Structure formats: structure tokens, C-alpha cells
Amino acid sequence: MMKLGKISPLAFSRMKQRGISIDALNELLARGQVEKQFDGAQVVYLDSPAPGPSWAGRPQPRLYAVMDAAGDVLTVEKRVRVSG
């Protein structure tokens, strides 16, 4: 489980633009998968649950955050991925 550090002004702005709450960011850090980058940065991501009847035919959201080596959030994104 990762802890939420500082949130950059860019990340905070992106969160507001994309409707991503602090609770969602905390959930991402608690349950997300981590990919470490060569420079010490980390990409933390969380795919949506496995598609069920309510997801049939809909794109699946994917939430991710980019964090620096100190654990500060640089940016946050919600991407939609079409299964296929």
C-alpha cells in the first residue's frame, strides 16, 4: 500500500477536470499496480473490475497516477479503453 504524498498543482487541476476525487486517488494508491520507471518515478494504475452485465459493450475506464521518486503525485488520468 502506497501513501498519498503531496499533489502537484497540475495533478490537482487534472483531478478536478476529470472528476477524480481524493478518495479515488487513495483507493488507487491502496489497490493499484505499480510500474517503476528507470528514473525512480512510478506509474500506479487500477483497471476497472472485470466486465459484467452492466459493462456489456461499454468502454472500460482505467485510472492511473504518475508519481516522482519521493512519492509526490505529478499527474492523474482516467483513460477509457475499448475492449476488443
Q: Residue 36 belongs to a domain with what CATH number?
A: 2.20.25
Interval 34-50: pLDDT, tens: 889 888 889 898 865 55
Kindly report, residue by residue over 54-81, the tens digit of the pLDDT. Answer: 545 555 568 889 999 888 999 998 876 5
Q: In which domain, by residue range, is 29 found?
A: 9-49+58-81
The reported pTM is 0.72
Q: Number of folded domains in the chain?
A: 1
Region of 31 on the Ramachandran plot (φ > 0 left; ψ -120 to 50 alpha; else beta): alpha
